Structure 1
Amino acid sequence: MSSEIAIKVENLSKRYQIYDQPRDRLKQFVLPRVRRMIGAAPAQYFHEFWALRDVSFEVRRGETVGIIGRNGSGKSTLLQMICGTLNPTHGTLETKGRIAALLELGSGFNPDFTGRENVFLNAAVLGLSHQEVEARFDDIVAFADIGHFLDQPVKTYSSGMVVRLAFAVQAMIDPDIFVVDEALAVGDEKFQRKCFARLEELKSRGTSILFVSHSAASVIELCERSLLLDSGSRIMYAPAAQAVRAYQKLLYAPKADHESLVREFRAADSGAGAVNGAAGAAGAAADIVLAAQDAARNAESTFDPGLVPETTTVYPAQGAEIQSIAFRSEDGRVVNVLQSGETYYLEMQGVFTRDFAGVFFGSHIRNIQGAEITGQRYPEEGSYVPDARAGTQFKVRFAFNMNLIQGAYFAGGGVWSAEEPACAHRIVDAVMFRITPTERKKSFGYVDLAASEPTLDLSGCAINAATPTM
């Protein structure tokens, strides 16, 4: 296997024997042997179920690959075989380096042991010596951030605390291959952002990541490629956005169209044909809103002291120092619980500590996964504020019309110069803020770009309004 390949899977299959009655298991163990002894053809007393069949793909070193598919498509079976906890029926599987996995909530933990004891136990299973664990212990504890519960039995933990400790152990040992199942969905928004930041850090160090999630946005933003499974078979191994669109098309298509779509996507995957626009059309079905839910709207924007980012990154100050970054409402209050559609100002204040011939200021807003939703620059591209002198105080305000969908986001900013050093100072994820829900959801994704209410004209159309088609 090439040194650039971390995982190589060829024709991997897993078969289970399903028995209708317990006694059939005993029959299968005894009677075929007896029948062969007397020269009769052996009988079979079970049904075959193939959880995975003839799946092949490769993962390069430092690559993040999403594993997507409906429940029961074989995702967990595939991950268990890669991690070595399940043996394949047929096929070959090669991996290179240390594998860390977060498959099931609390897997590998002894519920009667304390968190501290489980850290050493879990790390030992991964092949670390006691001295290696001790060297990493403070980083693991700091990442998990479960306080005094570290010395309490794991059986007293909440599900969120369990996943915090489990992720901290697996992610802080610098694995060569990191397998993450849906367990991250248990964590709160701040912890999810922290985890995604750590995944990006591991990726930059050459760790290969297998990521399983039902969140289309997370897969597209985190993964280069995605493997789409359906009924245990490979349907497509393609760029993440393309594979996700195909998955969503399968997910929302009528049952009568399922098999034809599977054939179509397989043909595209093998290069034998083209998707003929199906993948593009699937984008329209990306996040179908099945039902609108009423939600209370906050009377006004407020400040929640609990919204403190854990992924703040402060760049070295090289001629400027940002002293504060905060959102302010129209009336000047510092806020971090914002209403969708209202105008807010991201205010950045600081001081120059050296002279610059020209500078510009920038800001960003990111989602939980770390993808930049939007940003602003002052002045515009190609222009600079001339003659920034040492000792000069600055205050720059970026106005945002918050047409964001309900959820948690992160904001930061920086100062750049026209000369070296290019980055005078920058703070990433300086502020965490939340967008409150609207009275009734009408848009999905991250940004509400609706200019007006949708319209529907059924005049002259042979469509029954009571039973809309998909």
Structure 2
Amino acid sequence: MSSESAIVAMGLGKVYTTYRKPFHRLVELFLPAADGERLGKSFHALSDVGFEIKKGETFGILGRNGSGKSTLLQVISGILEPTTGEVRVAGRIAALLELGAGFNPEFTGRENVRLYGGLLGMDAATLDRRLPEILEFADIGDFIDEPVKHYSSGMYVRLAFSVAIHVEPEILIVDEALSVGDEAFQRKCFSRIEEIKRAGATILFVSHSVASILQLCDRAMVLHEGSRIYLGDPNSAVAIYQRILYAPKDKVGSMLEHARDMDARGVGMSTQPAEAAAALEVEVPADESEVVEITLERFDEGLVSRSRFEFEQNGARIIDPRIVDVSGERVNVLEHGRDYRYVFDVEFSLDAFFVHFGMLIKSVSGVEISGASSHFFDDAMQAVPAGARTQVVFHWACDLLPGTYFLNAGCNGVVDRDIGETFLHRIVDAYAFRVEVPGKPRRTAGFFNVLVAPFVELSVE
């Protein structure tokens, strides 16, 4: 193991045996079959996983639920023994894994600080000295002297994370535990993680948040069904993870082959952008004599909105919401910094008055990021006759950070003067799209700063 390495994993495998009925485990233990046939079935949580993490590196792990991420972290932390292979670790580890791990539910928070701190290698004198800082960071007030079995999940995480970071670890392992904390605490935690990173610690970070992976990590690895399929720059890892996440089942196999090929050849967007673009099936100019300008934008047929919901039509119908690029091609994978148009058609079945249209961009968690109306309050379309068809076009610059987003589409107006203005039709999560960034992104936070300029074309048929 090199003196520059913090963690080296070689051929790691973890196999569990599952049984159809509980008593089969006992039968197999005391009455093994003479022919060697087992009652249980082997489940490979990890299969031949290998990698090396340098000291001071922040390393991200991505993968769908059940891909082996948590099992891998438990093996690295020494909680689980691998079935095959070995892992070598150089440095003091502080691991924030399962909620409440290392806590005794009957002990108070203060008692658990001493227990958990001791498990992480902190002596009594150091604990006494750092206790005020730990309690101040956790910020759970008088509950510190209450049994932790009465704590909420957020209070568990506050206390556990506070202890872990005050150990001053050489290696910090975080497994999505921060997702249960409130926004203010998450921001405080990520700020502290950045401080630990600047101090030279090695950080192993598991998250479903691609923005966190891109902002924090130097490299990232993608796991699928217990196997490593890609290790390289975070941008390529995120692109591969998201393509697999949203792909139709019949396309997953070919995507896994592309990813493994990129992994074997060491191809990534930061080092070999042209090769990575070809492997990820993004567009590259055909004429190799030209200056190669790679564009990540494309249409991924597996990326669809599964949460789409249409309200009842009330005199109008929204048709085919879509995003198109500057050449008019439909896309749902967008490149940060480029211009796009959000387009939908509207057919009117009733005479409508004071008509205007709207769009709204939302995050995966439902946060309303930005929206716009096609008209000012006193500038709506005064009258639209039944049978008319309108095309609505919102021009916008994509300054969104990498991630997956959803678009709403709406049409407002008056069809009954006794009722007044109302939605004539509305579609929630009408269109899903993903944003990717070429090269290595800056450290950023939040969502984006987008400018929307509406344009409406009306044709009466």
Whether 1:4 and 2:4 are equivalent positions in the alignment is yes
Deviation track 1:405-424 (CA, whole Å, cap 9, x = no partner) reads 9xxxxxxxxxxxxxxxxxxx
Whether 1:153 and 2:153 are equivalent positions in the alignment is no
CA–CA separation in structure 2 for the residues paired with 1:29 and 1:207: 45
Q: 1:244 aligns with which of 200, 219, 238?
A: 238
Q: Report the counterpart of residue 305 of structure 1 in structure 2.
A: none
Q: Map 1:132-143; keep pairs closer than 5 Å.
A: 132-143=126-137
Q: 2:216 aligns with which of 213, 217, 222?
A: 222
Q: Report the counterpart of residue 447 of structure 1 in structure 2.
A: 448
- Specify whether residues 272 and 131 from structure 1 end up closer, same or farther in structure 2 by C-alpha distance, changes over 3 A only: closer
Q: Report the counterpart of residue 349 of structure 1 in structure 2.
A: none
Q: Report the counterpart of residue 260 of structure 2 in structure 1.
A: 266
Whether 1:42 and 2:36 are equivalent positions in the alignment is yes
Q: Report the counterpart of residue 64 of structure 2 in structure 1.
A: 70
Identity %: 47
Equivalent pair of 1:114/1:151 in contact (CA under 8 Å) = yes
Whether 1:21 and 2:15 are equivalent positions in the alignment is no
Q: Map 1:341-352; keep pairs closer than 5 Å.
A: none
CA–CA separation in structure 2 for the residues paired with 1:230 and 1:220: 19
CA–CA separation in structure 2 for the residues paired with 1:454 and 1:245: 32
Q: Which SS does the other structure have where 1:277 is aligned?
A: helix
- Specify whether residues 293 and 7 from structure 1 end up closer, same or farther in structure 2 by C-alpha distance, changes over 3 A only: farther
Equivalent pair of 1:264/1:275 in contact (CA under 8 Å) = no
Equivalent pair of 1:113/1:154 in contact (CA under 8 Å) = yes
Q: Which SS does the other structure have where 1:106 is aligned?
A: coil
Equivalent pair of 2:134/2:162 in contact (CA under 8 Å) = yes
CA–CA separation in structure 1 for the residues paired with 2:371 and 2:400: 7
The letter of the residue matching 2:278 is G
- Specify whether residues 174 and 272 from structure 1 end up closer, same or farther in structure 2 by C-alpha distance, changes over 3 A only: closer
Q: Map 1:260-339; keep pairs closer than 5 Å.
A: 260-271=254-265, 274-279=275-280, 281=282, 290-291=306-307
* CA apart distance, 1:145: 1.0
The letter of the residue matching 1:95 is V
Gap runs ≥5 in structure 2: 268-274, 283-295, 311-367, 373-398, 402-426, 436-446
Q: Report the counterpart of residue 206 of structure 1 in structure 2.
A: 200
- Specify whether residues 109 and 452 from structure 1 end up closer, same or farther in structure 2 by C-alpha distance, changes over 3 A only: same
- Specify whether residues 7 and 54 from structure 1 end up closer, same or farther in structure 2 by C-alpha distance, changes over 3 A only: same
Equivalent pair of 2:247/2:303 in contact (CA under 8 Å) = no
Q: Report the counterpart of residue 164 of structure 2 in structure 1.
A: 170
CA–CA separation in structure 2 for the residues paired with 1:15 and 1:189: 37
The letter of the residue matching 1:53 is S
Q: Report the counterpart of residue 108 of structure 1 in structure 2.
A: 102
* CA apart distance, 1:20: 1.5
Moved more, 61-70 or 105-114: 105-114
Q: 1:122 aligns with which of 110, 116, 123?
A: 116
- Specify whether residues 289 and 139 from structure 1 end up closer, same or farther in structure 2 by C-alpha distance, changes over 3 A only: farther
Question: How many pairs were matched up?
Answer: 315
Equivalent pair of 1:61/1:206 in contact (CA under 8 Å) = yes
* CA apart distance, 1:206: 1.6
Equivalent pair of 1:163/1:186 in contact (CA under 8 Å) = yes
Give TM-score scaled by structure 2 length: 0.63
* CA apart distance, 1:89: 0.3
* CA apart distance, 1:454: 9.6
- Specify whether residues 339 and 73 from structure 1 end up closer, same or farther in structure 2 by C-alpha distance, changes over 3 A only: closer
* CA apart distance, 1:450: 5.7
Q: Which SS does the other structure have where 1:164 is aligned?
A: helix
CA–CA separation in structure 2 for the residues paired with 1:201 and 1:151: 29
- Specify whether residues 50 and 137 from structure 1 end up closer, same or farther in structure 2 by C-alpha distance, changes over 3 A only: same
Deviation track 1:241-289 (CA, whole Å, cap 9, x = no partner) reads 1101100000111100111111111011001885553537477669975
- Specify whether residues 31 and 175 from structure 1 end up closer, same or farther in structure 2 by C-alpha distance, changes over 3 A only: same
- Specify whether residues 121 and 451 from structure 1 end up closer, same or farther in structure 2 by C-alpha distance, changes over 3 A only: same
Deviation track 1:20-72 (CA, whole Å, cap 9, x = no partner) reads 2233223322344x73xxxxx42222211100000000111111111110000
CA–CA separation in structure 1 for the residues paired with 2:456 and 2:37: 64
Q: Which SS does the other structure have where 1:104 is aligned?
A: coil
- Specify whether residues 31 and 440 from structure 1 end up closer, same or farther in structure 2 by C-alpha distance, changes over 3 A only: closer
Q: Which SS does the other structure have where 2:186 is aligned?
A: helix
Q: Report the counterpart of residue 185 of structure 2 in structure 1.
A: 191
- Specify whether residues 271 and 20 from structure 1 end up closer, same or farther in structure 2 by C-alpha distance, changes over 3 A only: same
Equivalent pair of 1:265/1:275 in contact (CA under 8 Å) = no
CA–CA separation in structure 2 for the residues paired with 1:455 and 1:157: 54
What value does the CA root-mean-square deviation take over the aligned residues? 3.1
Q: Which SS does the other structure have where 1:100 is aligned?
A: strand
CA–CA separation in structure 1 for the residues paired with 2:281 and 2:448: 20
Q: Report the counterpart of residue 359 of structure 1 in structure 2.
A: none
The letter of the residue matching 1:242 is S
CA–CA separation in structure 2 for the residues paired with 1:103 and 1:135: 25
CA–CA separation in structure 1 for the residues paired with 2:199 and 2:182: 26
Deviation track 1:296-351 (CA, whole Å, cap 9, x = no partner) reads xxxxxxxxxxxxxxxxxxxxxxxxxxxxxxxxxxxxxxxxxx99579xxxxxxxxx
Q: 2:84 aligns with which of 79, 83, 90?
A: 90
- Specify whether residues 280 and 140 from structure 1 end up closer, same or farther in structure 2 by C-alpha distance, changes over 3 A only: farther
Q: Report the counterpart of residue 52 of structure 2 in structure 1.
A: 58
* CA apart distance, 1:176: 1.0
Q: Which SS does the other structure have where 2:53 is aligned?
A: strand
